[in-house]
Structure 1
Amino acid sequence: MKNFKDKNLLVITRFYPDGENLIIGDSFVKGQVDELAKNFNKIYVVSPIPYVPAVSTLKNAKFLSFITKKLDIKPDLKNYKDKNVEVYYPKYLHLPVSKFRNEMGDNQFKAIDKLLKSQNIEFDLIHSHFIWGSGYTGVKLKEKYGKPLVITGHGFDVYDLPFKDEYWNTKIKGILKNTDKIITVSEKNVKCINKLGYDAELIPNGYNNLFKNFEKSHVDELKDKLKIPKDEYIILTVGNLIEIKNQETLIKSLKLFNENQTKNFKCYIIGEGHLKEYLINLIKEYDLSDNIQLLGKIPHDEIPNWMNCCDLFVLPSLNEGNPTVMFEILGCNKYMIGSNVGGIPNILYDEKYGRILKNPKDENELFNLINDTYLNKELIDYNEISKYANSFSWEIICEKILKEYTKLII
């Protein structure tokens, strides 16, 4: 394999985790970058963020609330360096109206190009994550600087956006046409890109070595520290509190589980989002306040602690690409239930590794899966899970990515 120690990689992505844990962002991109950095001279990560002038004033203006409530305003993130990785957060003007949405890619490109000049950043290869708008920006940079471009399509940008209407279909096809290598993370995504007339390499997400199986003595210590009962069945889920993550169905299924099992259980839900109050009220309505706890946002490097303390992980999403959390829970050597969406059934193709929820909105089906997994928990072969998980470590996944880079960098 080619040595890239004299080369620089430019990575463009959406919400890259910052150095002060103000945003968790797309941790799967960071996991990949951390591993790839071992093979490059430098990696420059650019994560453009939208801003609105005088946003604090705008947010308090009631007559503008119809706009500000739709703004995805990020904290004032600071650029930072971590060994040979430099992370930048250039700002670009954005509002939640069609004109700005359509021009987002051009505005991001202008912000990134200005940054490259001001920081004297030189690079040999561009890798954009998500087709729109990072992929679009990557195409513009390729055209200006004459560098090869790799795009990884992850989820919504592959299975939804290109098929919304003629405008977006043409837009996405134009991006893919000017890409040197297309990567995507699931078989479903490969088929979607094929429908658009292009080939894609299937390389799934991975997990980093934080996500591993802890010794029992360490788990016991963690349970004491986190106040997790040692004699109860522990269920965990991780995801933003939004409709697509479908915590509502999980809560409804646990109402049935509570009614049908004498065994005490606890379910911990990690994540923040606009459904928080609704979910709290639902938990109260079902009299499950002693069983289900919303933990809010937890730093990414602390999530392995919670994963190692659980008996079962549930991912009831209504849609996904190839969720990194699935590989992380496998890395922690835990059994899981996942929805029949995105790349989940391709990874959990055997019940040795997890169970598939065919209808994510069916609380009765999810209850039966949870109940059956609980009743047969002694039959789970954790050695098989561990061996399977090793094939998804970032080290293994990045070897495949580097092979693709080798074909593009002279």
Structure 2
Amino acid sequence: MKQFWKITKTEFVSIFKDGGAMLILFGAMLIYGTLYPLIYAPQVVRNFPVAVVDLDNTPPSRKLARMLDATPEADVRYDARSLDEAEQLFLDRKIYGVLYIPQGYEKRILAGEQNHVSLYADGGYFLLYSDFLGAVGEVVGAAGAEVQIGTLTAGGLNRQQAEWTAQPVAYDVNMLYNPYGGYATAILPPVLILIAQQLLLVGIGMVGGTWYEKGTWRRFRDYSATRLTFAKATAYLFLYIPLMLYMFSFQYKFFGYPMNGNHLDLLAIFLPYLLSVIFLGLTFGALFRKRETSMMMLIVTSVFFLIVSGISWPREGMPEWIYALGRLVPSSSGIDALVRIRTMGATLADVVPEAVTLWTLTGIYGLTAILATLRRTRELQTAAAKVRTEHYKTNTESE
């Protein structure tokens, strides 16, 4: 055990004396964990500028424009006289959507004919596009219901009967696990889990490269590869479990994300998730000879890991082989399990498949880390033996 804690202490010292490693492992995690939620704190887009092209200019068309302006999403800032004028406003980035009301809008309403309006939205900003589409759909639906109610009351029904006829089935919308319908609540928890993985991989690889550059590996070349691996892993585990619990408790509460699930269940998933990531990082760290190699090689994996995690694209839309490949990345199962526990209130029993996958990855990457460490120590032992042999030959020849 003395050797074990000596290795762990050396790893701690290597981390805390390395400004770059500290920045990656702690500074970046705290910065990302605070800055990202602050940026997305509003959760939803509100009052983005739009224009209305009202070629009818009648009380019903003006009412439709006012109803759109009253929605929380849209702010009707421009009353354009033509689509060309609205297009120019769009190209100048003064607006992000256009509602077009054609001439004859009121006339068709009075004649009982089917009416239509057009909307143009910026598909380059998906949030703005979807919010504008939803706002216009809500307004047009409400306007259509008003017309139908007016027609029914003119036919002899009272107001309540007309409303029931216009909407025979009422419905309630309940947004589970994301009460605000917010972007931050949906995206940031899985993103932070992925960021933790990437920072750990880069940071551990950086420290491993530093060990080689500064000759620290030579001090431990005669130690057991298994002991080296587990002692180094212990250092990172002690550092990151409190950090992750902080991110998924205090940060969750501070920014108003749904806090469900049991802390013990959360910890039970953090353990295999962090261990699998740490062992994968130690595998790379034992192979790197320069600290910069970690940044250059591992930072480019972020995009692939993001895709296979299911954050940016649903897994149902992926080819099976890509989905299966993604299971080899700890963040894929880690995101599934941790978000379900923390945000959705799942128990450990509900995430058994993900837990099994993470423990399996822990075993696999633990083995690869031991083998990579064994390769490094044997390489150094061979080099040391070669030096001793050459030194012996030199002394023999001099005699």
Q: What's the TM-score, normalizing by structure 1?
A: 0.26
Q: What's the TM-score, normalizing by structure 2?
A: 0.26
Between Structure 1 and Structure 2, the one with more helix by share is 2
Structure whose CA Rg is larger: 2
